[in-house]
Amino acid sequence: SGLLPDEKRFAVFWLSRRALEAAFDLDGAFNNVSVSLSPGANPQGVIDGLDALLAPYGTGGAYGAEDQLSNAFIESEMQQLASIAAIIPPIFLIVSALLINAILARLIATERQQIGLLKAFGFDQREIAWHYVKMALGMVVGGILVGFVLGAALARLMTNLYANSFRFPDMIFRLDPSAFVIGGGSAAIAAIVGAIASARSAANLAPAEAMSPAPPTVYSKGVLQRAFARIHFDEPTRMILRHVTRWPIRAGVTVVGVAAAQALLVGTLFAFDAIDELLEQHFNRTDAYDAAINFVEPMNYSAVREIERLPGVLSVQPNRDVSIRIRHGQLDERVWLVGVDPTGRQRRLLDDNQRFMDMPEHGLALSSQLASMVIAGVGDRVTLEVLEGERPVLDAPVTGIVNEAMGWPAFMDVDALGDLLGESDVVSGVYAMIDPDKEAAFSEAVLARPGIASVALQRASIESFNETMEENINIMMTIYALIGGAIAAAVVYNAARISLTERGRELASLRVLGFTEGEVSYILIGELGLLVFLALPLGGLLGMGLAYLVASSMATELFRIPVTIDPSTHGMAATIVVVSSIAAALFVRQRVKTLDLIAVLKTRE
């Protein structure tokens, strides 16, 4: 078995029970029972009853769906999707609220006289405020409709990805109307929240004050001008710095918006670095074997010697896996207790610092996930209920905590486990290193031997994982890049477009005074470039925080996601933000070329 299904090397054959009984002369025999419970039934009571009923037959014990590995994988994926749904959408809504607030604030500044006239004609504060709230809602209606279409397409894409990954035999795609209600309602609420502050400022304007032109900005020396007084800047650059320092809140909104886009990219793209780290730890450090061979039932140590003599085998490490229920206080979990030969190097343990640790000579080592599930630490004693053979109940101390990225096993020295179970030189499987040039001969020889239940080749597992995940990863990276780039482009475009509207007279005056088109464009776009430059380090820091939040919220019993962010991820996120910002700025720059100098200069302010 591997991390993902591999239909090239694994298959399930279905046959009628009657035909199978006749083929093996086992009339009425069975080895698995699936039970459906009536609504409101007590699962634990049914499990206890089944265990008591089947105890004479030596079963491994009944268990609920939550302990079934396939169900655990599905539940893990659903939990991770729920975590993403709780973290990522609020970022979009916050950025949307900031954008709406910035747009309305600047729009109100240009409509002071109209507001004053409306109030002079008897419109009250509530009507003025409601006007701008409705304007904000009007802005998002189109986005909500487009979002419904894109969301439905993305939902179908995600459904197909899961259907292909998990090989569901029948998966019906259905859109829940509540998803549209929640999505559209959230967008509308974000618009209202973003509009409230600006709408209130408009409503609070006194008529006489509103009908008067806004007082001119006092361009005295600011903090930056005094700090860089000895540094000579050209006039366009000084105009950029003056405008940024005179309007820090406006500049801050743009910086935060761009930083949020980059944070979203870093906080999602890091998952691919985490997957690489997870696979590196799993395949090259803790499970550094080429093949894992599992026997049908526990066998004498002589089986290990037979495996050693197979073609291509370089070294082996025997193991003894036992299904147990571990109890500590009132808590219990059904897990695998893995007995490992401490002299081998194919299956090793890591501590919290990612360093190799020795197998405890006495007691057992718990994975960090299992230790947190039963709230046990080094020095505690736990009860082990063995779920096979004579099913003894044992007591053992916890002597180590293991950093295991996948699953929640417990580990013990294979000889110490044998002594605990009262058995000698008994193994249930072998980890083997194989000569790559003789892998085919090894596979043919090992499959021909009796008593072998399964053979898992690490190379095949890696290939299967890469083939299965490559398409999914590329699709998800494209989606994240488009979303992050769209946010950055939207923030920069809105800032540039509003700035052009506000400063049209100023820029046209500069053109009349002899400034070139390039110099005027530099004043407009240079300010945006400065703000994007300031947003990049902030976005990187926020992205690291978001990565930690995503990793902690997506951690499940099956997987712990390491927070590993490669420099290339920061570089990719920054590149997407910069390219998107440049595209938006260049789009607005085209408006500078078409400025009607005479019309702009005649416009009353």
Let me know: does 534 contact 495? Beta carbons within 8 Å: no
For the chain, how big is the Rg over CA atoms in Å? 33
Which among 538, 525, 584, 479 is positioned nearest to 88, based on CA atoms?
Answer: 479
In this structure, which amino acid lies at residue 121?
Answer: F
Query: For residues 211 and 205, what is the distance between their CA atoms, to the nearest angstrom?
Result: 9
At residue 216, does pLDDT exceed 70? no
Bridge partners of 412, per DSSP, are: 339
* Confidence bin at 538 (pLDDT 50/70/90): very high
122: left (phi over 0), alpha (psi -120 to 50) or beta: left
- Average pLDDT rounded to a whole number, residues 63-76: 75
Is the pTM for the entire model greater than 0.85?
A: no
Q: Is the pLDDT at 469 greater than 70, yes or no?
A: no
Token pair of 551 as six digits? 């990793």
Whether the pLDDT of residue 96 is over 70: the answer is yes
Structure-token match 């049914």, residue found: 46
Q: What is the pLDDT of residue 431?
A: 92
Q: Which of 575, 530, 506 is nearest to 250 (CA)?
A: 530
Q: Look at residue 251 in the predicted model and tell me its pLDDT.
A: 82
pLDDT the model gives residue 433: 92
pLDDT, greater one: 282 or 211: 282
Q: How far apart are CA 368 and CA 377, in angstroms?
A: 9
Task: Give the long-range contacts of residues 305-310, CB within 8 A, separation 24 or more.
Answer: 306/449, 307/430, 307/432, 307/446, 310/442, 310/445, 310/446, 310/449
Closest CA to 79 of 564, 560, 563: 560
Q: What is the DSSP string of 193-214?
A: HHHHHHHHHHHT--HHHHHSPP
Task: State the pLDDT confidence band at 210, using cuts at 50, 70 and 90.
Answer: low
Which position has the higher pLDDT, 39 or 244? 39
Predicted local confidence at residue 372, as pLDDT = 87
Q: How confident is the model at residue 498 (pLDDT cuts 50, 70, 90)?
A: confident
Percent of the chain with pLDDT over 70: 88
Most confident of 46-55, 241-250, 582-591: 46-55
| Distance set, CA 569 to CA 7, 84, 92, 488, 544 (Å) | 33, 19, 21, 17, 11
Residue 176 DSSP code: -
Q: Does 200 score more than 70 pLDDT?
A: yes
Whether the pLDDT of residue 281 is over 70: the answer is: yes
Torsion-angle region of residue 599: left (phi > 0), alpha (psi -120 to 50) or beta?
Answer: alpha
Please state the φ and ψ torsions of residue 9, each to the nearest 5 degrees. -125, 5
Contact 453, 545 (CB under 8 A): no
Q: What is the pLDDT of residue 537?
A: 92
User: What is the average pLDDT across 19-37?
Assistant: 84
Nearest to 531 by CA among 500, 494, 492: 492
pLDDT at 547 over 70: yes
Q: Mean pLDDT, the chain, as a whole number?
A: 80
The secondary element (H helix, E strand) that includes residue 278 is helix 248-281
Residue 124 or 308, more confident: 308
Count of CB atoms within 10 A of residue 536's CB? 18
| Rounded average pLDDT over 458-481 | 72
The phi and psi torsions of 468 (rounded to 5 degrees) equal: -75, -40
Q: Which of 64-78, 85-99, 218-232 has the highest mean pLDDT?
A: 85-99
The neighbouring-strand residues paired with 308 are none
Query: Region 336-355: what's the mean pLDDT?
Result: 86
pLDDT of res. 541: 92
Query: Would you state the structure tokens that stand for residue 492, as one six-digit string?
Result: 């920069």
Q: How does pLDDT run across 357-376, given as a tens digit for each residue?
A: 888 888 888 988 888 888 98
Is the separation of the CB atoms in 104 and 135 below 8 Å?
yes
Predicted pLDDT at 434: 92
What confidence tens digit (pLDDT) does each residue in 400-420 have?
Answer: 898 887 778 899 988 888 888
Q: Which of 199-203, 544-548, 596-600 comes out lowest in average pLDDT? A: 596-600
Gap between the Cα atoms of 354 and 285, Å rounded: 9
314-343 confidence digits (pLDDT tens): 999 999 998 888 999 888 888 889 988 888
Give bridge partners of residue 401 from the DSSP assignment. Answer: 366
> How far, in Å, CA of 573 to CA of 562, rounded?
19
* Block residue for tokens 């799993």: 282
Q: Which stretches of 128-278 are assigned E, i.e. beta strand? A: none
For 471-523, the DSSP string reads: HHHHHHHHHHHHHHHHHHHHHHHHHHHHHHHHTHHHHHHHHHTT--HHHHHHH
pLDDT of residue 154: 82
Q: Do 259 and 488 form a contact (C-beta atoms < 8 A)? A: no
Q: Over 60: is that where the pLDDT of 252 sits?
A: yes
d(CA 357, CA 414): 16
What is the mean pLDDT of the segment spanning 202-220? 65
Using CA atoms, how far apart are residues 466 and 477, in angstroms rounded to an integer?
Answer: 15
CA distances in angstroms from 364 to 134, 335, 408, 429, listed in the order given: 65, 13, 13, 19
Instruction: Tell me what pLDDT residue 382 has.
Output: 92
Which of 4-8, 114-118, 268-272 has the lowest average pLDDT? 4-8
Percentage of residues in the chain having pLDDT higher than 90: 4
Cβ neighbours of residue 258 closer than 8 Å, sequence gap 6 or more: 488, 491, 492, 531, 532, 535, 536, 539, 577, 581
**d(C-alpha 201, C-alpha 132), whole Å:** 11
- The stretch 507-536 carries a mean pLDDT of 81
CA distance 466 to 470: 5
Banded pLDDT at 557 (limits 50, 70, 90): low
pLDDT at residue 81 is higher than 80: no
